[in-house]
Structure 1
């Protein structure tokens, strides 16, 4: 049967009894309902078939890319195109008596097909994104940024095609018009363009990876990078809050990336004990003999004492006053004790710098800084190791007749 006669069957059946106009409208209603039902059934059948084929083929392949296509609903999106094409093919027969409406309806269908194709491409790109994230080589790369760039391009092409279909103008004409409005477009998409450029620079220069611990005080960020996309970088702070930073801020502002510490052999300990200046003094022979009981510095004290005695005797130094000649001080010996303690501590990396140094004096006293590297870089364990070291050193101060500065306590 001729398709034209099939779609006008109701019209021929009713025109003699109800008149031509009424028959035309009833024929249209019946045709629309019939095509809608046919499109719905076609969509359901095609969708079920594609999903069944996908689920049957996916387990047989080594890659999980096809599983991700199913997860991102690529078969369903493809299935939706078939009934829309069916509607497009039947529209000239369905609206044969309404040529103006037919033209507008066909334009709407063409635009809808463009949107469906974009959805299919988006689901494929999302599947590609998820697949690349499963590969070790891409786990720490800003894959989201690259996918978003592709999607922006796809949407741009889709919008151009849609306006071309809607206006009846060629794509070239529309692109030329956009060129004239480039300044406005650049203003509208300023953040997107900056984000795109920043994403490229971040990736090329390897400034930030997903999983890096970064600190950016300006934005209150101090935690692990969990996502890098075209517009923003998401940082999960250590209190489990999320800070969102503009991507271009990574190249325009200063931030600290702790990756170097994670890749190194230890995590730095750099903290000072402030010693009260009046508690610093020369050590008498009696006090030196007492301190020789401390095993970590007994050999040092013995050798150092012999060197000093020899030096003073050779120069006939008057030792009735301790200030004359060479002497040992309690802070100097304590500094040596700190260094020996760190060198013998099992949690300190011996292949990295170990140092106890005296810093410039302050109104509060003399800072004695401990500089070393913990083998364990896990935050909780690191804090425990550092606390254990300073617990010991603070408790050791009285043995050297040293006092720690405390605001409002003593002189």
Structure 2
């Protein structure tokens, strides 16, 4: 190739000298003509190879099942490679054209070499971008932090590229330059602190499967409550449910606490865990007349009959004096209310009956006795889940009065007396 270039660009100067032109005039005239010829040839080479490469890649992309080559076309990889070929031609031609201009030969040689390094890095970047887009189409990799890994690889390549550029600019040996960079490694670590922390965090997140793209996470420290839409080297982007976007440092996922709702979304139900406060003063034993009235409630009618027979048998066998309701065993309005709510939950079509379901009494408080509902909605979608939970508690609040119970409420100003 070098001999061919010498034939193309090396014949002008001897020809001008043979025609009797001066040394300087022949040198500059051949230089200008050669530069013009170089530009024309480089452009022609670029257009030819661009047409060939683009045509080949598009042809292959249209006839293969894989989408990777389609993404190579989208990211214009062939066009950047087509730039590289005329650059190599220019790089080889410069020593011939500037043979009599040693200073400028050195300057232009270095500049073209630097441009080639940048172009090679850019080509590699387009290939990785195509690989990223291809992998994100695969269900297996769609939730993986691919951007983080590609960014790490590119940062390493850019560091190597910058090292090569510096060594070319100052005519340093590559090993000498690496030794110098090792001496200032502390400064490098300080500059790239967030990137290094982000890389370590990305590896931990990926290996431990802590967060995936598409996960719903809650991180109160940063006001994040929504779906993860992007994980890269330094930041994690969360689209909140109010359509705002929160940006979280990647290393915070490994150093701070956050809540990931993926387990709930993959389970068979979404938990309902909420309570009402019943006034303790409204809790009492039930008389036979009240039990007869409550038997008209279908869900607990059979339970009242069975329970009543059991209690009466116990009281008779133990000679219990029932002149006072407190003696022996009795049914209370709160206990019967809890049984009713349990039966109601077991008959609710929107609750998962195969998961834990109960109505329980918690430790009493100054505001009353908490009655907690613990169940799981079969529908895990947020709006439907909220509807199911509201439907359950609407019924509970409306049912309280049938058992002569009262729900605690703070008194309004008008009820205060002096």
Residue 295 of structure 2 is aligned to residue 292 of structure 1: yes
1:406 Cα shift? 2.0
Give the distance between the partners of 1:80 and 1:96, measured in 2 at CA: 25
Q: TM-score, with normalisation over the residues of structure 2?
A: 0.92
More deviation in 40-49 or 153-162? 40-49
Q: TM-score, with normalisation over the residues of structure 1?
A: 0.94
Where do residues 303-314 of structure 1 align in structure 2 (5 Å cutoff)?
A: 303-314=306-317
Residue 390 of structure 2 is aligned to residue 387 of structure 1: yes
Structure 2 equivalent of residue 348 of structure 1: 351
Deviations 1:280-319 (A, max 9, x none): 2221211111111111111111111122222222233232
Q: 1:14 to 1:189 in 2, by over 3 A?
A: farther
The alignment partner of 2:340 has SS state of helix
Structure 2 equivalent of residue 120 of structure 1: 123
The alignment partner of 2:360 has SS state of strand
1:321 Cα shift? 2.4
Residue 202 of structure 2 is aligned to residue 233 of structure 1: no
248, 253, 256: which one aligns with 1:245: 248
Q: Contact 1:3 / 1:93 at 8 angstroms: preserved in 2?
A: no
Give the RMSD, CA atoms, in angstroms: 2.1
Q: Contact 2:9 / 2:34 at 8 angstroms: preserved in 1?
A: no
Q: Contact 1:7 / 1:94 at 8 angstroms: preserved in 2?
A: no
Q: How many residues align?
A: 409
Structure 2 equivalent of residue 82 of structure 1: 85
Residue 46 of structure 2 is aligned to residue 43 of structure 1: yes
1:363 Cα shift? 2.0
Structure 1 equivalent of residue 264 of structure 2: 261
Structure 2 equivalent of residue 107 of structure 1: 110
1:5 Cα shift? 4.0
Deviations 1:101-156 (A, max 9, x none): 11011001011101111011111111111112222221211111111111112112
Q: 1:288 to 1:47 in 2, by over 3 A?
A: same
Give the distance between the partners of 1:352 and 1:251, measured in 2 at CA: 32
Give the distance between the partners of 1:238 and 1:363, measured in 2 at CA: 36
5+ residue gaps, structure 2: 1-5
The alignment partner of 2:359 has SS state of strand
Q: 1:203 to 1:7 in 2, by over 3 A?
A: farther
1:258 Cα shift? 0.9
Where do residues 4-403 of structure 1 align in structure 2 (5 Å cutoff)?
A: 4-8=9-13, 16=21, 21=24, 24-25=27-28, 27-403=30-406
